Every structure is written in structure tokens, then in C-alpha cells.
Chains A and B, each alone.
Chain A
Amino acid sequence: SCELTQPPSVSVSPGQTARITCSGDALPRKYVYWYQQKSGQAPVLVIYEDTKRPSGIPDRFSGSSSGTTATLTLSGAQVEDEADYYCYSTDSSVNHSAFGGGTKLTVL
């Protein structure tokens, strides 16, 4: 199945580097997408196809993937980056898509 596992929470001080992981057996075969969701708002794509950043997303956001684990890195996290972050991927072998459980990032 396409099950993705994230840590429930990550906490950093402003200016520090935050890393959020996403683990799943299908990840070596499939791209990972990362979404940021602030309270009361729709999700916003911050990383697509493992490592690419949409226009308008600050370059402190980066993505990487190795084996069964993908990582979203915020280099120099800002208070405004506080949000829930979700990884997303698909697994065509089981015709299934899924989000990770989400990680609450606290910057204070």
C-alpha cells in the first residue's frame, strides 16, 4: 500500500534548520510532493517531484529523497513557516494515492 509516515511534530528556533521526514516503501519508485497548510487555509505546494520548488516558494525550502525516505528541509526557519506539513505520493502498483499523517512545525 501507499502508506507514508511522518513525525507528528518538529520544533526549532527561528533561524535554525528544520527537517521533516516522510517514509514509505513506494518512495524509491514514486515522486514525493510536500504541502504546507496554515490554520484555516487550503494546502499550498512547496516542493514537487522530490526536489523542485514552485515559483514563489522561498529558497529556504528544499526537498530530497533517498531510498524509502524523503525529507523537507527549511534552512533558516522563520516564524511564518509555522504550519502543518504533509507529504504526498502515489503508488501505481496499487492504484492508490496518500498523504502522510502530517507534521506540525513549531518555530519559536
Chain B
Amino acid sequence: EVQLVESGGDLVQPGRSLRLSCLASGFTFDDYTVNWVRQAPGKGLEWVSLIRSKAYGGTTEYAASVKGRFTISRDDSKTIAYLEMNSLKSEDTALYYCNMGSGAFDIWGRGTKVIVSS
């Protein structure tokens, strides 16, 4: 079955760190860019970060709101992607989705919840 499963979300205090994981199965993980997308409670979708496949250099991009604080990475041997989040702020509170695909092939996980609060 083609699927993405996010994990690692938690309640954390402002200023702390958290690492999210996205485990893929059922397709060729190496071939695709990984996106992290978040959705704050009652708000719209916000693109957070991406990491391209090795075929496209494995380069990374970040939204301005997280640049310098978040780091995306991938381990193709384990078909897993990570989002390391440092210096967390209350405005990072959201449901974090992992997304992969190209063209008509588009997969989303069910998300993992991050709450940043003291």
C-alpha cells in the first residue's frame, strides 16, 4: 500500500526542539521530492520545506518563517524523511503533513500534531 506516516509530534515548550519523521512505503521513495506542509488550527495550508531527490541534487528549500530554525533531511535507504525543528515558537503550533509525488502521483500522510506552549 502506498502511504506516508508522520510521527514525532508533541507538546513542547517555546525555545525547545523537536524532530518529525515521515516514513514512506509502497513506492520508490528515492524518486521524489519530500515536502513538509503545516496547518495551524483553523488556518490554511502553509508550505514549510522541501528536499529534492538525489537526482536533482538533494537540495533543500525553506519558507521564510522557518529558515534558520528548521532543517529537512532524508535517508533514502530507510525511506524516511525528517524535519528537525529548533527554537520553536508558539506560531509553529500546527498539524504537520508530509507530502510526496509528481504530477498525478501525489501522496499525503495523516499528519502529526505539534503544540508549542509553556
Contacts and interface: CB of A to CB of B under 8 A. Distances in A.
A60 interface: no
Nearest to A31: B103
A104 to B, nearest CB: 10
Contacts, number: 46
Interface residues of B, number: 18
24 contacts: A35-B45, A37-B45, A42-B97, A42-B108, A42-B111, A43-B45, A43-B97, A43-B108, A45-B101, A54-B106, A55-B104, A84-B44, A86-B44, A95-B61, A96-B61, A97-B47, A97-B50, A98-B47, A99-B44, A99-B45, A99-B46, A99-B47, A100-B44, A102-B44
Interface of A: 35, 37, 42-45, 48-49, 52, 54-55, 84, 86, 88, 95-102
